Amino acid sequence: MIVTFTDFGVTGPYLGQVRLALAREAPGVPVVDLLADAPAFNPRASAYVLAPLAASLPQGTVCLAVVDPGVGTQERRPVIVEADGRYFVGPDNGLFHVLAKRASMRERWEVLWHPPRLSVTFHGRDLFAPVAARLARGEWPEARRLGWAGEDFDGWPDELTEVIYLDPYGNVMTGLRAASLVANGRLSLCGRIFERARTFGDVPPGHALWYENSLGLAEIAVNRGSAAQLLGLAVGTPVTV
């Protein structure tokens, strides 16, 4: 199985072109779009979204992950990362650092293979998709082992005290794991205090809360409303425990 994790969105031509490349290179392999609206141009926030999503993937899954503001530049390497039996293909810009840090087994390779046609600005279609397809077929492209060193994770805390994702309902996902917080603790955001609740309906309509979301992260919401709109939030807004 191949899953995609991108900031391409679903309204333009980009995700469709990537899926066509995958179908051409790996016919018959199922493709699942895990997330198409990852924080745009923001590999750091996206890394904290990808890590909990990746934890639920079956072993052997190939994840094509592209949040790549440095596409086409010399300093940005294309990589394959293996973490606990799952494979990730994409840019070496921090997008895979959190899931690799949390993995009990990790490895990393620089992709040396180049396709005959390589658009400067669309490596997701021309480079990463063919590499992901080859892995899904059981083939290995030309690559050089990089490994991981402890210093690779400097500046990458286990949890991020920031907003990392805003969903279409206006719910505000943070980089904090709910299990690490006090059971009845409070979160502070934009000068406002949020009490913990189990689910949306535990507070009246229009009232705000924070709760443990389905990924195990602390998320702020308004029952039948938009927390993002109410507070004017953006990815990167600090959260205080």
Strand partners, 111: 143
Which tokens hold the place of 19? 């899926």
Per-residue pLDDT, 190: 86
Per-residue pLDDT, 182: 80
**Band of pLDDT at residue 183, cut at 50, 70 and 90:** confident
Per-residue pLDDT, 184: 75
**Band of pLDDT at residue 231, cut at 50, 70 and 90:** confident
State how far the Cα of 204 lies from the Cα of 202, in Å rounded to an integer. Answer: 7
State how far the Cα of 162 lies from the Cα of 218, in Å rounded to an integer. Answer: 11
Strand partners, 2: 31, 62
> Where is average pLDDT lowest: 23-32, 74-83, 180-189, 221-230?
180-189
Q: What is the pTM of this model?
A: 0.96
pLDDT tens track for 119-133: 999 999 999 999 999
Distance of CA 88 to the CA centre of its chain: 11
Cβ–Cβ under 8 Å, residues 118 and 126: yes
Q: Which amino acid is at 34?
A: L
State how far the Cα of 50 lies from the Cα of 26, in Å rounded to an integer. Answer: 23
pLDDT tens track for 5-52: 999 999 999 999 999 999 999 999 999 999 999 999 999 999 999 999
Full DSSP string of 145-165: E----GGGGTT--SSEEEEEE
- Delineate the domains of the chain, giving CATH numbers in brackets: 2-153 (3.40.50.10790), 160-231 (2.40.30.90)
Per-residue pLDDT, 32: 98
Strand partners, 89: 64, 80
